[in-house]
Structure 1
Amino acid sequence: MDCWKNSNQRWLWHAIDKSGKVLTYVFGTRSDKVFVQWKALLEPFGITRFYTDAWGAYSRHLEQHLHKIGKQNTQKIENRPLTLRTRIKRQARKTICFSKTVDIHDLVIELFINRYEFGLSI
């Protein structure tokens, strides 16, 4: 599980399995409310272990025996933002393709994720 802030002050929350496959993602603020909504999206996958950073919402909303804090198991997922920034030109603020509205910015990222991660045609 990981989340990272895009240039519009919104966070992309995403979870991957051991193979690196994205299970689910959501955009939102870094708040307990968004985390709880995102966690509900993960329930159908029957996840038995969560590897995260030390942000407080994880400790507040994940059972302690299922939650492991540390960088050792989060390196694979932390590479995802680099891939997004490299492949989506509008992630770089100094390009002429940078979206000025949050909705368009998020939509382009969602389209990319659906195509790149889930293989869905756009």
Structure 2
Amino acid sequence: MVIHAEADEFWSYVGDTSHQRWTWYALERETGIILAHQNGKRTDAMCEQLLNKLRLFPIRSYSTDNWQSYAKYIPSAQHHIGKDQTWKIERMNLNFRTHLKRLHRKTICFSKHETLHDTVIGLYIERHHYKNFSYAKS
């Protein structure tokens, strides 16, 4: 099985907007299944951690936005940059914000602790993307 992955990150905050929290993740384009996710800061190290998790999969190509961290760790022959290649993951970002009120940009429902914030996002991904999926079925 050859996988084409889309990778992106979205912004949220814990406590107040000065405490930024980023969720990095990658999905398989054909099925929309999230392959891996990582919460933290918007740094090269976080990008590298996400891409290390993806090494378990036979990924032939990656599509990302123009964030410079991706170009540092993805070989240019495998890397496609542009919004025309990331429409599926950008739609998924909107789904996250729609389903999880704590991810809205302006809300009174926000996370107070990083651990709880990361756990809620992880549970959402588990429930909506991993629950009934197995690569053995493919």
Say yes or no: TM over 0.5: yes
- Count of residue pairs brought into register by the alignment: 119
Aligned: 1:6 with 2:27: no
Aligned twin of 1:89: 101
Q: Higher relative contact order at CA 8 Å, sep ≥6: structure 1 or structure 2?
A: 2
Higher strand fraction (1 or 2): 2
Q: Which runs of 4+ in 1 moved over 4 A?
A: none
Report % sequence identity: 36
Q: TM-score, normalised by structure 1?
A: 0.88
1:33 to 39, 45, 50: 45
> What is the CA-CA distance between 1:78 and the residue it aligns to?
0.7
Judge conservation of contact 2:13–2:110 (CA < 8 Å) in 1.
no
> What is the CA-CA distance between 1:90 and the residue it aligns to?
2.6
Aligned twin of 2:115: 103
Q: TM-score, normalised by structure 2?
A: 0.79
Judge conservation of contact 2:28–2:34 (CA < 8 Å) in 1.
yes
Letter in 2 for 1:109: I
CA RMSD in angstroms comes to 1.5
- Please give the residue correspondences for 1:42-61 in structure 2 after superposition, counting only pairs within 5 Å: 42-61=54-73
> What is the CA-CA distance between 1:5 and the residue it aligns to?
0.9
